[in-house]
Amino acid sequence: MTWNWDYVWESIPLLLEGLLVTLELTVVGSLLAYVLGLVFALIRRARIPVLSQLMYLFIEVVRSTPLLIQVFIIFYLLWPALHITPSAFVTGVIALGIHYATYTAEVYRAGIEAVPKGQWEAATALSLPRQRVWTGVILPQAVPRVVPALGNYMISMFKETPLLISIGVLDVLNRAKEQGAETFQVLEPYTLAGILFLLISYPSSILVRRLERRVGQL
Amino acid sequence: MSDSTSNIISSILSGLGATVYATVGGVALTIVLAFVAGLAMLSPSRTVRVISRIYVEGFRGTSEVVQLFWLFFVLPALVGFKLVPLFAGIIVLGLNHGAYGAEIVRGAVQSVPRAQQEGAVALSLSPAQRMRRVILPQAVVEMLPPFNNLFIQLMKSTALLYFISAGEITEKGELLRPVYGSRLVLIYGVELLCYLAIAVVITFIMRTLERVLSRRLGRAMPTRQRAWARAGAPG
Amino acid sequence: MTHGQWTRRDFFRRSAVLGTAAVAGPTLLAACQSTESGDTLTSAQNSRTIRIGIANEAPYGFADTSGNTTGEAPEVARAALRGIGIDTVQANVVPFDQLIPALNAKQFDIVAAGMNITPTRCNAALFSNPDYSALTALLVPSGNPQGVNTLADVAAKNVRLAVLSAAVEKGFATAAGVPESNIETLDTQDNMLRAVTAGRVYAAALTDISLKWLVKQNPNSGVEVTPGFQPTQNGQPVQTAGGFVFRKDDGSLRDAFNGQLTALHANGEWLRIATPFGFDQSNLPPADLTTAKLCAA
């Protein structure tokens, strides 16, 4: 089996189409994870009698079981039960968002706990309303510190998206698979797919590392 | 228990062996690669550092599913031998998670205070003794919480072996879908319980290791709180 | 850093490398099995066992409720292989589009999944003589509200169609004018059924035998099968036939298998084996339809 450059150029447009889908999944999924994660973390912290315990259980189960199974559960069990049929793409975004929200929830928790006790006490001393304590004092200190970790999770999500081909999402790996299935030549498409991932995630992780250094100086 | 229920449960449990095998094999390979590459990144030799960097960045920067497809579908045609699916899976799991593990090892060894190394030199300990009795014990205790997370990640990644038909739990469940389409709650429920059980076992082993090794260092085990914060992003 | 520092690391690394070798060495050796020196036919006859690949597509090759591998293709293969001295058949299940890649990657030695003989596939592997011939059909919601009966109707009514990944129906659909954007490529027969019942697609295209079996196994799913038809390519009706697939260098195995297969077709055994799976006299391949012809088409 030798490397066929013509085949490579032929395959690139299709793979780039897939890459676009991969990027869309990553960005929307991450945004969902960032928002949902904060919600999860706050619910856990609020110590509401039944809800917080359930949230803890939910987070532990989702964090400790494979994303692939969660995707199947949503796509083949949940949607039919609710009698709705969201597309595979939407299912992917939701599954990724929920799964990664359980990771970001821990990150937020660590960030919030890293805020010095003195800040809480000062806020109380100033008689700030509860909501203001959070939005004006705690979160502005907690969130910047965790941004690098959140960035790393986006990169992780980017690399996990290919498992969504199991429900038919047309991402870069699925396009590579299509190419390979049509011509029975798999070397070039799969190698290209790998390179495309590297081209995006390596510079991104360098960026995050730089961000980490900057934040460390805060 | 009805016939179909026991069929379903035994079918899924028949995949448990492959999942556990893949997890154990993957963990073993990860540990070896993590130490080799992690220490190599601290080597005075530039070549060694660069080679290990390339391995670490290469495997951390590409998707595990893509690596799996490549190793399983492309490699055999390139080099002429066929890989048994389960072993191909173990190799990818080990290579991929070993790269992340290398960073953990490097960070932990670097975090051992210089004073410890200098103290060991002052006590005229040989290089091997320094490593074995001073540096490593302290570094390993630091490594255990992030490795705990990494190994659970690895266990979750065994589900990806579904794509190469290795006979593990997720695949067994999916094979049941055409035949037992109305029993999905049971199918996925049993699968989730299996993975949870393995995760609990892994965490138990790692926490026990941490307690035992900390005690031997004469240290109190870090509280769970700090361990979580230190664990951070698997990146 | 003193020179001693390096020695310490070196020592540790050496033992780690030994560790790698100790763990990985035997693992890799066990994992890789290099190309067999004997040919597949001889080694299968010696060990009296062989592995086949199926795609969990009923009734061609699938696992029943007890987990046993059965179906028209595995059962016919079992009968043919017994005739050349191979008693045990083990089945590997892979998605349909992985059958030929996995065959070439030596995960198994014969594909027994009722795979249609096409020129592209002939380039990648060797086919047996035609085993059966079937018509194409569509799985549609009960009552067929849109009145879609052929692929041309699918194109005309602008509805979504599900096809099996790497199966021939996709080509037939595009030839009939169905736009790519309306085609959903799925990887298993079961996923195609779910796509229709969930309403993600209006119709799913497979062979009529396959779809009739699906409906029989899922009586309350609210789906039905259209009458079978011959797909057209370049305006001409196309007769398709499926067969068993072998690696390109397993010609001896293929020829031995063909001998048995022809006998089974001729003496009525094939009909006896295939009837429980929904096949009948009309599915026997016509005498003038040869593999060579189908590969050249």
**pLDDT per position as a tens digit, A129-167:** 888 888 888 888 888 888 888 999 999 999 999 999 999
**Whether complex ipTM tops 0.85:** yes
B18 touches chain C (CB under 8 A): no
To the nearest whole Å, the CA of A54 is away from the closest chain C CA by 31
Instruction: Give the pLDDT confidence score for residue B165 in this predicted structure.
Output: 87
CB contacts, 8 Å: B4 with chain C: 65
- Percent of chain A surpassing pLDDT 70: 99
**Closest CB from A72, A73, A198 relative to B61:** A198
Find out whether B166 and B22 touch, Cβ atoms under 8 Å: yes
- Distance in angstroms (rounded) separating the CA atoms of residues C248 and C125: 5
Query: Is the peptide bond prior to C59 cis by the omega test (within 30 degrees of 0)?
Result: yes
Please check whether residue B190 is in contact with residue A73, taking contact to mean a CB–CB distance below 8 angstroms.
no
Indicate the domain borders of chain B: 3-231
CATH at residue A28: 1.10.3720.10
Say yes or no for a CB contact (<8 Å) between A68 and B173. Answer: no
Q: How far apart are CA B168 and CA B175, in angstroms?
A: 11
Q: Chain A residues with CB inside 8 Å of C165's CB? A: 178, 181
- Our separate counts of H helices and E strands in chain A read 10, 0
Is C139 a residue whose pLDDT tops 80?
yes
Is the Cβ–Cβ distance between A196 and B83 less than 8 Å? Answer: no
Nearest to C230 by CA among C208, C211, C251, C249: C208
Contact assessment for residue A40 and residue A101, using Cβ atoms and an 8 Å cutoff: yes
| Closest residue by Cα to residue C112 from C67, C168, C51 | C51
pLDDT, residue A4, reads 83
Dump strand ranges (E) for C203-272: 203-207, 223-225, 232-233, 236-237, 242-246
pTM assigned to the model: 0.86
Residue B33 CB partners (closer than 8 Å, separation 6+):
B94, B95, B98, B99, B101, B102, C20
Per-residue pLDDT of chain B (235 residues; tens, 9 = 90+): 578 888 889 889 999 999 999 999 999 999 999 999 998 998 888 999 999 999 999 999 999 999 999 988 888 777 767 778 899 999 999 999 999 999 999 989 888 888 888 888 888 888 777 777 788 888 888 899 999 999 999 999 999 999 988 889 999 999 888 888 888 999 999 999 999 999 999 999 999 998 998 888 777 665 554 444 444 444 3
Interface partners of A (3+ CB pairs, < 8 Å)? B, C
CB B96 within 8 A of CB B84: no
Q: Which CATH architecture has domain B3-231?
A: Orthogonal Bundle (1.10)
Instruction: Let me know if A117 is exposed, middle or buried by CB neighbors in 10 A (0-12, 13-18, 19+).
Output: exposed
- Does residue B13 belong to the interface with chain C, where contact is any CB pair within 8 Å? no
Name the segment(s) of chain C with CATH classification 3.40.190.10: 40-133+241-287, 141-237
Give the number of beta-carbon pairs within 8 Å between B and C: 112
Number of domains in chain A: 1
Candidate from B78, B156, B160 with C-beta closest to A1: B78
A135-149, B194-208, C25-39, C247-261, range with the lowest pLDDT: C25-39
Amino acid in the structure at residue C244: F
pLDDT score at B228: 44
Return the H-helix or E-strand segment holding C83.
Answer: helix C72-83
Among all residues of chain A, which has the CA nearest to that of C122? A184
Assigned CATH class of C40-133+241-287: alpha beta
Query: What residue numbers bound the domain in which A103 lies?
Result: 5-216
Q: CA-CA distances (angstroms) from residue B128 to A133, A177, B49, B138, C164?
A: 54, 50, 21, 15, 60
pLDDT at C182 over 60: yes
The Cα–Cα gap between C62 and C190 comes to: 11
Is domain C141-237 annotated with CATH 3.40.50.261? no
